Amino acid sequence: MRALTIDESGLKLRRDYPKPDRADGESLVRVTMAGICGTDLELARGYMGYRGVPGHEFVGIVEQSGSPGLVGQRVVGEINAACGRCDFCRTDFGRHCPNRTVLGILGRDGAFADYLALPDRNLLFVPDSVPDEVAAFTEPVAAAYEIFEQVNFAASDKILVLGDGRLGAVVALVLYAAGLNPVVAGHHRIKLDRLSALGLKVELEEKLKPAFDCVVDCTGGPQGFLRSVELVRPRGKLILKSTAAGNHALNLAPVVINELTVVGSRCGRFEPALKALADGTVDPRPLVSGRYPFDDALAAFASARDSSNFKCLLQIA
């Protein structure tokens, strides 16, 4: 099958990559569409030493499964394949299972390929009314909904989404859909204008002034943490939504002096995200900056690296 792979020499589009083995309890999914995320760009740069097929935002059709009801169904899939037996799994937190593999990120080939394998229990049916380019956003929208599992907001909270990239845009849309009124800030006038046209309040990053009740750091870089600490009020909340790989020179003293609460936030449950996409509460289509045939995957990655773009999608089947 075709697969985009990462090895020592970087990204490569291969045509002879073996189809994934489907273990007991797993389904083989023919990927129809997949989205490129900042994590994929990081993995391609060597983050976590990942080797194999990246990609974890997808929609596809089940071709083989031990569960006959799944075959032929259009599905999206939660990306953490958990053991099902540990304390985390028993309390419905398989996303933190220490024995987990993660689709396209950790120990399991991902979605930038003709086929992927995931446990049956990870798969959710996609209603016919939801087009592929919307369903492909389920994973990042779920990651945004994760914030509501971790933090309570007041309607009057002054919320800043720091970072005008694909993640910041999705987070801002989800907060806005929940009746909150976040400011999105970044360095790219062109993207801020697009977000403004969606009803969001926007601001150039260098014009921001303290103090926000909550800052959601979606910058993907260590400077985002430092800037967030400057912009949040004492006793405020700082939600770290993106990871910055490696060590960086950071000063935690302001976290203590201002008694900040810093909340790390990663993957979320798919169910509320898919519901919001299906009923139109969240419509991510204005964030699509390009659709690329899979054979042009390397060009799609180049486009995803262009900071004037939001989401680039791969049309795989």
**Interacting residues toward its own copies by CB under 8 A:** 88, 93, 96, 98, 150, 222, 225, 234-235, 240-266
8 A C-beta contact, residue 270 and residue 139: yes
8 A C-beta contact, residue 169 and residue 195: yes
8 A C-beta contact, residue 46 and residue 10: no
Nearer of residues 160 and 240 to its own copies, judged by Cβ: 240
Nearer of residues 191 and 241 to its own copies, judged by Cβ: 241
Nearer of residues 194 and 237 to its own copies, judged by Cβ: 237
Interacting residues of 86 by C-beta distance below 8 A, sequence separation 6+: 97, 98, 99
Cα–Cα distance list, 158 to 203, 219, 237, 268 (Å): 14, 19, 11, 23
Cα–Cα distance list, 196 to 9, 92, 173, 186, 202 (Å): 40, 37, 11, 12, 6
Q: Are strands 74-77 and 57-65 parallel, antiparallel or unpaired?
A: antiparallel
> Least Å distance between CB 279 and its own copies?
27
Question: Phi, psi (5° rounding) for residue 96?
Answer: -115, 15
- H-helix or E-strand spanning residue 44: helix 38-44
Nearer of residues 30 and 96 to its own copies, judged by Cβ: 96
> Least Å distance between CB 102 and its own copies?
10
User: What is the rounded distance in angstroms from the CA atom of residue 253 to the CA atom of residue 259?
Assistant: 10
> Least Å distance between CB 203 and its own copies?
22
> Least Å distance between CB 272 and its own copies?
17
> Least Å distance between CB 217 and its own copies?
9
> Least Å distance between CB 247 and its own copies?
4
Nearer of residues 31 and 82 to its own copies, judged by Cβ: 82
> Least Å distance between CB 310 and its own copies?
21
> Least Å distance between CB 174 and its own copies?
17
User: What is the rounded distance in angstroms from the CA atom of residue 53 to the CA atom of residue 103?
Assistant: 9
Q: Are strands 183-186 and 201-204 parallel, antiparallel or unpaired?
A: parallel
Nearer of residues 184 and 244 to its own copies, judged by Cβ: 244
Burial (CB < 10 A; 0-12, 13-18, 19+), residue 31, is buried
Nearer of residues 201 and 233 to its own copies, judged by Cβ: 233
Nearer of residues 230 and 279 to its own copies, judged by Cβ: 230
User: What is the rounded distance in angstroms from the CA atom of residue 212 to the CA atom of residue 205?
Assistant: 13
User: What is the rounded distance in angstroms from the CA atom of residue 215 to the CA atom of residue 231?
Assistant: 7
